Chains A and B, each alone.
Chain A
Amino acid sequence: MADGRTSSLSDRVWAGLGRIGITGKRVVIGIPLIWLTIFFILPFLIVLKISFSTQIIGIPPFTDLFDWSGGGIVPKLQIDWSNYSYLFEDPLYIVAYFNSVKIAFFSTCICTLIAYPVAYGVARVPETWRNPLLLLIVLPFWTSLLLRVYAWIGLLKNNGIINNFLISLGVISEPLPMMNNAFSVYVGIVYSYLPFMLLPLYATLSRLDFTLLEAAADLGASRTRAFVTVTLPLSIPGVIAGAMLVFIPAIGEFVIPSLLGGPATTMIGRVIWDEFFENQAWPVASAVAIALMLFLVVPIMIFQYYQTRSEAQP
């Protein structure tokens, strides 16, 4: 063996650690597990706890859920439901939730419609073209989202590139209102999340057995019929995986509606941000976040189901 010395040293270290109950296996499992318990699971319990506390002026700006002042071992619980009832009283929150779901849903549909033919095409081009095209799909994802969203401002605003171009052609005389409304938010979300739809779709479509299509053609099926009865059903797992990768994060999107949206397109991510940073209303922000997470439980479970299924068949 080339470096027997090092391995015997590490051997001795592990043997020593093993005597106090630390084995390599326990370390490898333990570190990530402890990390995500402390920094991922525990924070959600804290958000839950703060969502039931009362807003006060101070640091931190909320009361403690457990009142120890009475003495004794068991604290008095002070649960404040008002943060949640507040969500139903103020139409701001209902409108924001409704907007978020609507925008995320239609963006997911538009992403699917755009991504499907592109992914299908990339899966069917000759082998040598596939990797460069895939690289082109992934490349925008690697460059800053913030800057790509920013680029759309220059394209869409009233004296922006698209309007200037159309006016100089004489197609329109007044600039089209494309900025700070629903249109710009849709463009931003579809644009930013398109790679997340393209990649799982491509993965499913490239695994598809294309001899099935030849068989369908030999049996007299038209191109459209072969697509509808063979390709489409087989690609559904990719569509759903991609849809979840777009829908779930898009609901809570903050950057895109803040830069491209207007007063009519308030989304829930923006509400959480404003409650937190502008109003210092931590309990309300926590309640809004908990309500959003409850809403996301089902989509996340669907996503996990399809993800474990795709891992089972590599």
Chain B
Amino acid sequence: MKITGLSPFVFACMILGFVFLYAPIVMLIIYSFNASRLVTVWAGFSTHWYGELLHDQQILTAAFLSFRIAFMNGVLSVIIGTMAAFALVRFGRFWGRSVMIQSISSRLVLPDVILGLSILLLFVSSRSLIGWPDQRGVLTILISHVTFSSAYVAIVVQSRLAGLDRTFEEAAFDLGAPPFAVFRTITLPLIAPSLVAGFLLAFILSFDDLVIASFASGPSATTLPMVIFSKVRLGISPEINALATIIVVVVALGVAFAGNMLQRQNAQR
């Protein structure tokens, strides 16, 4: 069957597509080992910029703050997103269902600037009305991140829940198990892979976010993307290349590990 094979054209397009996706990342990594401060002139191999990075207190503090926010965001988003997914898949029609569906899918596509602006105006208004939040910082960034990343978790968990074989749950119900016990001992392990995927997604969305955090934050909290953005605006710096390389390597290992784990879990079943 000739028609099911790949034509040379499609094959060439695939190669070019992947080169396009990876060329900038490869360049970042190569030039992070450049001895010269000029990013575009190769002056020999050096790990100088990694040392510089490890002594940059501003970047380290911001990275730690971003990590904390991203982790808490992952946990909260998984809880709220899973609840939303459960409500949408399992509870049939309920009051507010269409509002929930529409808000979830709008949050996936609405530009960050709009989300950031609107949530900041909420914080400002609620402060003048009820005195909370006293100042903007970690908590307000966290709330705004949970608001948008729980939508992604909901989508991921929803598709897993919808495709789930319900006979185990029904058997447990028939044997008289209360709903929460059924959820904990049967449903939860079955949807665990999607919870892991949802957590990682929420973590990365929060860790990468510049725009929404800039609106939701106050002077007390500066996240890593905010530091990177202000440095990059001033020009290219090899230190940022080193930071990018570390992030790419960590993420690649994480994605490979998670992918491998999910695949093994799926194979076990």
Question: Would you call the interface of chain B mostly helix, strand, loop, or mixed?
Answer: helix
Q: Does A85 contact B (CB under 8 A)?
A: no
Q: Does A164 contact B (CB under 8 A)?
A: yes
Question: How big is chain A's contact interface, by range?
Answer: 35 or more
Q: Does A39 contact B (CB under 8 A)?
A: yes
Q: How far is the CB of B133 from chain A (nearest CB, A)?
A: 12
**Cross-chain contact A252 with B112 (CB below 8 angstroms):** yes
Cβ contact of A251, chosen from B1, B111, B225, cutoff 8 A: B111
Q: How far is the CB of B160 from chain A (nearest CB, A)?
A: 11
Q: How far is the CB of B105 from chain A (nearest CB, A)?
A: 5
Q: Does B233 contact A (CB under 8 A)?
A: yes
**Cross-chain contact B177 with A1 (CB below 8 angstroms):** yes
Residues of B within 8 A of A11 (CB): 178, 180-181
CA distance A38 to B123 in the complex (A): 11
**Cross-chain contact A214 with B255 (CB below 8 angstroms):** no
| Interface residues as binary, B71-113 with A (CB distance below 8 Å gives 1, 0 otherwise) | 0000000001101101100010010100111111111111111
**Cross-chain contact B109 with A245 (CB below 8 angstroms):** yes
Cβ contact of B103, chosen from A40, A139, A161, A164, cutoff 8 A: A40
In A196-242, the 8 Å CB interface with B consists of 210, 213-214, 216-217, 223, 226
Q: Does A84 contact B (CB under 8 A)?
A: no
CA distance A14 to B128 in the complex (A): 38
Q: How far is the CB of A282 from chain B (nearest CB, A)?
A: 7
CA distance A126 to B194 in the complex (A): 26
Residues of A within 8 A of B259 (CB): 131, 135
Nearest-neighbor residue (CB-CB) of B13 within chain A? A117
Q: Does B267 contact A (CB under 8 A)?
A: no
Nearest-neighbor residue (CB-CB) of B3 within chain A? A217
Give residues in A with beta carbon < 8 Å to B.
1-3, 6-7, 10-11, 14, 24-25, 27-29, 31-33, 35-44, 46-47, 50, 60, 114-115, 117-118, 120-122, 124-125, 131, 135-140, 142-148, 150-155, 157, 159-161, 164, 191, 194-195, 210, 213-214, 216-217, 223, 226, 244-245, 248-249, 251-255, 258-259, 269, 272-273, 276-277, 282, 285-286, 289, 292-293, 296, 299-300, 303-304, 307-308, 311, 314
Nearest-neighbor residue (CB-CB) of A32 within chain B? B84
Residues of B within 8 A of A223 (CB): 3, 7
Q: Does B25 contact A (CB under 8 A)?
A: yes
**Cross-chain contact A43 with B118 (CB below 8 angstroms):** yes
Q: Does B171 contact A (CB under 8 A)?
A: no
Q: How far is the CB of A37 from chain B (nearest CB, A)?
A: 8
**Cross-chain contact A151 with B27 (CB below 8 angstroms):** yes
**Cross-chain contact B121 with A46 (CB below 8 angstroms):** yes
Residues of A within 8 A of B180 (CB): 7, 10-11, 14, 24
**Cross-chain contact B113 with A121 (CB below 8 angstroms):** no
Nearest-neighbor residue (CB-CB) of A271 within chain B? B113
Cβ contact of A46, chosen from B7, B86, B122, cutoff 8 A: B122
**Cross-chain contact B229 with A146 (CB below 8 angstroms):** yes
Give residues in B with beta carbon < 8 Å to A.
1-7, 9-11, 13-14, 17-18, 20-25, 27-28, 31, 39-40, 80-81, 83-84, 86-87, 91, 94, 96, 99-114, 117-119, 121-122, 124-125, 128, 143-144, 146-147, 150, 154, 158-159, 162-163, 177-181, 184-185, 200, 204, 207-208, 210-211, 214-215, 225, 228-229, 232-233, 236, 240, 243-244, 247-248, 251-252, 254-256, 259, 263
Residues of A within 8 A of B109 (CB): 244-245, 248-249, 296, 299-300, 303
CA distance A117 to B154 in the complex (A): 30
Cβ contact of B251, chosen from A124, A142, A191, A245, cutoff 8 A: A142
Residues of A within 8 A of B150 (CB): 32, 35
Given contacts A143-B247, A213-B4, A304-B102, contact A252 B114 (CB under 8 A): yes
Residues of A within 8 A of B31 (CB): 154
**Cross-chain contact A164 with B40 (CB below 8 angstroms):** yes
**Cross-chain contact B91 with A60 (CB below 8 angstroms):** no
**Cross-chain contact A28 with B86 (CB below 8 angstroms):** yes
Cβ contact of B14, chosen from A1, A117, A253, cutoff 8 A: A117
Cβ contact of B114, chosen from A46, A137, A293, cutoff 8 A: A293
CA distance A145 to B10 in the complex (A): 27
Q: How far is the CB of B28 from chain A (nearest CB, A)?
A: 5
**Cross-chain contact B122 with A43 (CB below 8 angstroms):** yes
Q: How far is the CB of B40 from chain A (nearest CB, A)?
A: 6
Given contacts A10-B180, A32-B100, contact A214 B117 (CB under 8 A): no
Q: How far is the CB of A130 from chain B (nearest CB, A)?
A: 12
Interface centre among A194, A254, A277, A314 (most CB of B within 10 A): A254
Nearest-neighbor residue (CB-CB) of B201 within chain A? A142
